[in-house]
Structure 1
Amino acid sequence: MPVDVTHETEALTPRYMAWYRFTRNPTAIVGALMVLSVVFVAVFAPLLAPYPEHVGAAVNFRARHGAPDLAYWMGTDKVGRDILTRIIYGFRISLLLVVGVLAVAVPLGAALGLAAGYFGGWTERVIAGLTNVMLAIPPLVMALAVGNVLEPNLVNAMIAITLLWWTWHARLVYRVSKSIAAEDFVEAARLAGASHWHVLTREILPNCISVISVKTTLDAAFVILFGATLSFLGLGVKPPTPDLGSMVADGRQFLPEMWWGVLAPGFAIFYATLGFNLLGDGLRDMFDVEV
């Protein structure tokens, strides 16, 4: 009886094996579900929030500092706004920050890293030197400097984080692309007359996608945490826009009596960052790469 070799070969492709490793990793599945839940809540915030009017400058002093109950599941803040509603919309701000920062930092860092690793010479020295100089600046110091010069808002918070975040991707892609550039298939493409653009985008970049994906996922957690830190220090989103970091800063003034004002948004930050970290670890195991 003939054996279906084609089906067996297709089932053992690298893509299938990577997906198989991911689906057999409980940590990765939990992380993916946590991230999807945060995205779902952020996208459908107007439908899920119990008190959408509490997103802005609404006040209800009769309900201020209300403990969690059936009406307000996570309690109310210092002006009577529903904390759960503001956390739901706070996830939206956090994800906007992640998308805004990484949409600039990842392509910029990857492009510079590819150029440095592939061309070498003075290109490598200039890009590596610039990267090392920027890495020597503490991120929080840069963010504080930008925050003091520019008006605190979401866009300026993105600028403050992006100014240094591209360096990590540049260094990572530089290390990987430099190794790939020495491979035989890249040299064969050069000898065949392929342009630099073809070699960079068709030969080297596809082999960097896995490490870039893992790094980007892990970075999403750090961006959320760093953005919350800026808001906690008063350099992030301006009130009354709900932001998880500023909610923690407001709630700490009334500890320990009004513990829910800090615990609820603090747990939301923990939940989002943990989800991205678990997903990133799962992708790292799936692609079997070091980041």
Structure 2
Amino acid sequence: MPALLVGPATLIVLVPFVASLVVLAAYSIGYQPGGEGLSLAMWQTFLGDSYSWTIIWSSVRLAVVVTVLCLVVGYPVACALVRLESVVMSVIAYTVIFSPLLMSVVVRSYGWLLLLSDRGFVNSLLGAWPLQLGPYRLIYNEIGVVIALVHILLPFAVLPMITVLMQLPQNLREAAADLGASPSEIFFKVTLPLSLPGVIVAAEIVFALAVSAFVTPAVLGGGRVLNLSRLVYENIGNTEWGLAAVQALILLIAAVGVLLILERFNRRTFGEASR
């Protein structure tokens, strides 16, 4: 019975995904009906170029930076939300954090473009007396892309961490306090280790979304912040189907590789936490 309930949704998701992978693989090895045959020339062209490896590293590095910042900002937020006792404050806090998800990524990216521009709100605030700082170049570079991506992806980091923190037994922290542990010791020896599975899941979600982001790097980067998603888009526009397929598969491999590492660490952490 569960298989019958899950089956239709699984087919709807799995069949297009597998079909798209088959098409990408066919284009990447030069398969065309009536063509001359299969070839790995596209793979050799892309992987043999040092510039390609620079773009791959830039994409992964940007995703890692965004993921770390989302975790650093989101973990205290999740802890604060779990400890809110007022229903009114909880509703307000959840609304503030998760309501941006109701707005398009394009709109939020252009909103940050206006806020971070040379005459935008942020630079105007920094230039106001008594600060009199700036203006700083916050757009058309990696700084603006990181700021916007952290804002856009932060709810995806907070939600899984809230879920795990809400499941932590309160009596464990109370027992540690009764045994003389300080608040910092309770956090680092009880709360943080037990909540690591939620932190890792949050990292997986944010990294997968950040490494494949296209709109925000295109808008805030102004063509100066290149990643694999941008290259795929440009090569599709130039009808370089084979090269675009190779880049899309490399993007998928890089994302899945990092996710497998995080999942392996998550399994080990969850196993240790459940002992």
User: Aligned partners of 2:235 and 2:248: how far apart in 1?
Assistant: 10
Deviation per residue, 1:50-90 (Å, 9 max, x gap): xxxxxxxxxxxxxxxxx9859x9326xxxxxx983332001
- Other-structure match for 2:5: none
Q: After superposition, where does 1:1-291 map in structure 2 within 5 Å? A: 73-74=44-45, 84-118=49-83, 120-121=85-86, 124-147=90-113, 150=117, 151-180=139-168, 182-191=169-178, 194-226=181-213, 228-231=214-217, 234-235=218-219, 237-239=221-223, 242-255=226-239, 258-288=240-270
User: Aligned partners of 1:236 and 1:216: how far apart in 2?
Assistant: 23
Structure 2 residues not aligned, in runs of 5+: 1-38, 118-138
**Cα 1:166/1:203, change in 2 over 3 Å:** same
Deviation per residue, 1:259-279 (Å, 9 max, x gap): 334223222212212223333
Residue 44 of structure 2 aligns with an amino acid whose one-letter code is W
- Other-structure match for 1:35: none
| RMSD over equivalenced CA pairs, Å | 3.3
1:194, CA displacement in angstroms? 4.9
TM-score (norm 2): 0.62
Structure 1 residues not aligned, in runs of 5+: 1-66, 76-81
1:288, CA displacement in angstroms? 4.7
1:124, CA displacement in angstroms? 4.4
Contact 1:147–1:157 (8 Å) recurs in 2:
no
Residue 263 of structure 1 aligns with an amino acid whose one-letter code is A
**Cα 1:148/1:118, change in 2 over 3 Å:** closer
User: Aligned partners of 2:161 and 2:225: how far apart in 1?
Assistant: 36
1:171, CA displacement in angstroms? 2.3
**Cα 1:104/1:93, change in 2 over 3 Å:** same
**How high is the sequence identity, in percent, across the aligned residues?**
13
Contact 2:74–2:154 (8 Å) recurs in 1:
yes
Contact 1:74–1:264 (8 Å) recurs in 2:
no
TM-score (norm 1): 0.59
User: How many equivalent pairs are there?
Assistant: 210
1:110, CA displacement in angstroms? 0.6
User: Aligned partners of 2:152 and 2:237: how far apart in 1?
Assistant: 32
Contact 2:75–2:161 (8 Å) recurs in 1:
yes
User: Aligned partners of 1:165 and 1:111: how far apart in 2?
Assistant: 16
Specify the SS of the correspondent of 1:213: helix
Deviates more, 1:95-104 or 1:198-207: 198-207
Contact 1:214–1:283 (8 Å) recurs in 2:
no
